[in-house]
Amino acid sequence: MRRPHHPDGLLPLTFKLVKYFLLALAGCTITYIAAIVLEMPLVAEAIAVFLEHVLARSLVLLGCLWAIAVISESVRD
């Protein structure tokens, strides 16, 4: 007999984190474009460094979390 699916698992948390990651990426992109248009090279450089270091590592961590969530959901069922 199959157990009912509970929304308190790891997969909904992963989806929520991916959503906020994509929102942060969109915000950084808009800010970078605005900094280029308004000729603020210091701000544009800071955002580029932030995207290279922090968001790139966050993407790797989210990928690992996604893989763990998929494996744990597969094992659970």
Residue 53 structure tokens = 């270091």
Within 10 A of 26 (CB to CB), how many other CB atoms are there? 10
pLDDT of residue 6: 60
The segments of the chain whose pLDDT lies below 70 read 1-7, 77
pLDDT of residue 9: 77
On the 0-12 / 13-18 / 19+ scale of CB atoms within 10 A, 47 is: buried
pLDDT of residue 60: 93
Task: Report the largest interatomic distance among the alpha carbons of the chain, rounded to a whole angstrom.
Answer: 63
